[in-house]
Amino acid sequence: MDLSGIKKGDKIVIIGGGFAGLQLAKQLRKADAKVILVDKQNHHQFQPLFYQVASGRLEPSSISFPFRKIFQKSKNVDFRMADIVKIIPEQNKLMTAYDRSIAYDHLVIATGCRTNFFGNKEISENAFSMKTTQESIDIRNKILFSFEKEIFARPEDKQAWMNIIIVGGGPTGVELSGAFAELKNNVLPKDYHNIDFSKFQIILLEGSKNTLNNMSEESHMASRKYLEDLGVIVRTETILTSYDGNVATLNNGEKIPTKNVIWAAGVTGNIIEGLNPEHIVRNRYVVDRFNKLVGYENIYALGDIAYMETPKYPHGHPQVANVAINQAKNLANNILHVLNGKPSKLSEYEYNDLGMMATIGKHKAVVEFPFLKFKGPVAWYVWMFLHLMLILSVRNKLVIFFNWAWSYLTKDTSLRLITNIDYKKDKVTDF
């Protein structure tokens, strides 16, 4: 398999500006090709820090980067803000939600994942997900507004506003639980003098036996201990079966009154209509070792949406940022080799696992590298450093560092704005 169909001056359209799509566009900004990046948002979103926006630690602008700003000086890269709803491969054309079309010579699908509610419509309609910056802001608004509502609520309704259920004990659920626990312990009691925060319950539900189930036994134990030390109620081997917006029902029959359920229990690929469903496995496009879609000569897929079987990963690669970034780099290098007349230098992709990490709270984190595992304060500093280095601009690095330093020194954050509240839906005079 090769990429010989790519020629100088061709139009390469990339759908999705996440880690994979953005990395590919950046790598091709000096290529002899026209690159068009398409996304329904006008900015790149740094997903690993969504939980800090949701918990009021960072402003959304700190982790969001406008595409047009990123490519200001890249004359061969252009951006289109559009929601792609259909691919017409016979015509090399994309259709947008507003019935407009975008033509391409070569197409790269990097649409990533969306929240997977596993077919539970009731939960999907009533629970929060956290896959975009806006959803993170919505969580912040609702959680903070819950305490304003608690003040006015009837006595029998107060506990529902004071219960937060987070579903999913992976890195997102663990980090969000720890962040809310630190808000409970260090910040909120100073703001709300008349609320008894001993009744504020943060409940983390995980269907498997452990938190951070994909990590080692040491990380399982450490993460659970850190969470429980912070006051989080950890319930493993427990599944949320239904949630109507007022009461959460668990698989053991227990019912918990709550106005706030955050779903962080799974993802599924963002498949676009139009391509052969026979080459889709578990909502991911089947690709070869060059990330080319099976059955197509000019369509590629990267990152979470790509299903690639290799000797090391016979069931596909994990859906993590490192895979997305490095698949994009490999594809970009191959494209550049073809454009520069060096097709013999094409390389197949193989994932080298660099490890996993998660932070639970101040001085509480776990890090697993292939050669080393550690936890505690050192792991926490390593987590902060590596995430800070991944932030795109120097300005945003400085803003985030300042916010983290302020929070570290004062155990406080001033980013507690409540915006866009629907007062007709959430009546503050509901006695």
Return residue ranges of the chain for CATH 3.50.50.60.
11-115+268-345
Q: What is the pLDDT of residue 424?
A: 46
Q: What is the pLDDT of residue 288?
A: 96
Position 71: which residue type? F
CATH homologous superfamily for 11-115+268-345?
A: FAD/NAD(P)-binding domain (3.50.50.60)
Contact between residue 148 and residue 421 where contact means Cβ atoms under 8 Å apart: no
Can you tell me the distance from the alpha carbon of 270 to that of 283, in angstroms, rounded to the nearest whole number? 7
Contact between residue 415 and residue 179 where contact means Cβ atoms under 8 Å apart: no
Residue 114 corresponds to which tokens in the numbers above?
A: 């969306």
175: DSSP letter: H
C-alpha angle 353-357-363 in degrees, rounded to nearest 5: 155
Can you tell me the distance from the alpha carbon of 149 to that of 345, in angstroms, rounded to the nearest whole number? 62
Number of neighbours of residue 189 by Cβ within 10 angstroms: 15
Counting Cα atoms < 13 Å in the Cβ hemisphere of 401 gives 13
Per-residue pLDDT of the chain (431 residues; tens, 9 = 90+): 567 689 999 999 999 999 999 999 999 999 999 999 999 999 999 999 999 999 999 999 999 999 999 999 999 999 999 999 999 999 999 999 999 999 999 999 999 999 999 999 999 999 999 999 999 999 999 999 999 999 999 999 999 999 999 999 999 999 999 999 999 999 999 999 989 999 999 999 999 999 999 999 999 999 999 999 999 999 999 999 999 999 999 999 999 999 999 999 989 999 999 999 999 999 999 999 999 999 999 999 999 999 999 999 999 999 999 999 999 999 999 999 999 988 888 999 999 888 999 999 999 999 999 989 999 999 999 999 999 999 988 889 999 999 999 888 888 876 788 887 664 455 444 43
295: DSSP letter: T
Which residues make Cβ contacts (< 8 Å) with residue 70, sequence separation at least 6?
22, 26, 44, 392
Can you tell me the distance from the alpha carbon of 308 to that of 285, in angstroms, rounded to the nearest whole number? 8
Position 96: which residue type? T
Look-up of token digits 């004062």: 410
Can you tell me the distance from the alpha carbon of 18 to that of 21, in angstroms, rounded to the nearest whole number? 5
Q: What is the pLDDT of residue 430?
A: 45
Q: Indicate the pairing of strand 64-66 with strand 43-45.
A: antiparallel
Helix 394-410, helix 377-390: angle, nearest 10: 150
Can you tell me the distance from the alpha carbon of 161 to that of 148, in angstroms, rounded to the nearest whole number? 9
DSSP for 341-363? T-GGG----------EEEEEETT
| 57 three-class SS | coil
Return residue ranges of the chain for CATH 3.50.50.100.
121-265
Q: Which of 21, 33, 109 is nearest to 296 (CA)?
A: 109
Domain topology for 121-265: FAD/NAD(P)-binding domain (3.50.50)
